[in-house]
A and B are shown apart, each in its own frame.
Chain A
Amino acid sequence: DTGVSQNPRHKITKRGQNVTFRCDPISEHNRLYWYRQTLGQGPEFLTYFQNEAQLEKSRLLSDRFSAERPKGSFSTLEIQRTEQGDSAMYLCCTGAVVGYTFGSGTRLTVV
């Protein structure tokens, strides 16, 4: 139990469909990050929230991607009109002064 919960663990979707992932962070952590990891690579930064405010977005986050963190609690990452290149592990991470905690990730496969 890492303290950061991500759902679903796995998602298989057809190209063109929309998908939404959820991250429930450690309640005391006000920083929340989304990363994307493709096979054989380290995770890459997608976006960052400080409480409910989305303060930073990577250029990797195309206009098909949107993330929210209403009320500074859980966060959602939505991908519209999925493409095969979106297949990856999507990791949620929360941060505090003492360190970072990762969720188990959502593995997306676009067929």
Chain B
Amino acid sequence: KNEVEQSPQNLTAQEGEFITINCSYSVGISALHWLQQHPGGGIVSLFMLSSGKKKHGRLIATINIQEKHSSLHITASHPRDSAVYICASIAGAGSYQLTFGKGTKLSVIP
């Protein structure tokens, strides 16, 4: 059974700081998804990646398949980045269902 672990669980940062959120998973996967969830529940897809690195604006996601580890980085953090960030692994076959971590709650203080 695949388990997805995120760290830290909670993170408070000053505006402008560089932020890193980590995600580890226990079995081989086909891809990994980083998601953002704001209060109220809506989930927004940030990245889906199966190797290497992806960048979108101030967000960077990396994955190391051999080490079963992924990181989400936020450069020049801003209060509007405050949200819960969730990583989810994608099974390699079958239903391609997502297995989610518990999320990292990020608060960026002005």
Interface residues of A (CB under 8 A from B): 2, 31, 33, 35, 37, 40-45, 48, 50, 55-56, 89, 91, 93, 95, 98-105, 107
Task: Tell me the B25-45 residues at the A interface (CB within 8 Å).
Answer: 33, 35, 40-45
Question: How many contacts A-B (CB < 8 Å)?
Answer: 64
- CB-defined contacts of B41 to chain A, threshold 8 Å: 37, 89, 91, 104-105, 107
Nearest Cβ distance between residue A75 and chain B, in whole angstroms? 15
Interface residues of B (CB under 8 A from A): 4, 33, 35, 40-45, 48, 86, 88, 94-103
Of A95, A102, A103, chain B has the most CB atoms within 10 Å of the CB of A102
Asked if residues A56 and B94 are in contact (CB atoms below 8 Å), the reply is: yes
Asked if residues A93 and B98 are in contact (CB atoms below 8 Å), the reply is: yes
Nearest Cβ distance between residue B27 and chain A, in whole angstroms? 15
Nearest Cβ distance between residue A57 and chain B, in whole angstroms? 10
* Separation of A8 and B42 alpha carbons in the complex (Å): 13
Listed by A's residue number, 25 A-B pairs whose Cβ atoms lie within 8 Å are: A2-B42, A33-B98, A41-B103, A42-B86, A42-B88, A42-B102, A43-B43, A43-B88, A44-B100, A45-B97, A45-B98, A50-B95, A55-B95, A56-B94, A89-B41, A91-B43, A93-B43, A99-B45, A100-B45, A102-B43, A102-B45, A103-B42, A105-B41, A105-B43, A107-B41
Looking at chain A's contact residues, is the secondary structure mostly helix, strand, loop, or mixed? strand
* Separation of A104 and B88 alpha carbons in the complex (Å): 17
Give the residue name and chain of the A residue nearest to B96 (CB). A95
Asked if residues B42 and A102 are in contact (CB atoms below 8 Å), the reply is: yes
Give the residue name and chain of the B residue nearest to A99 (CB). B48
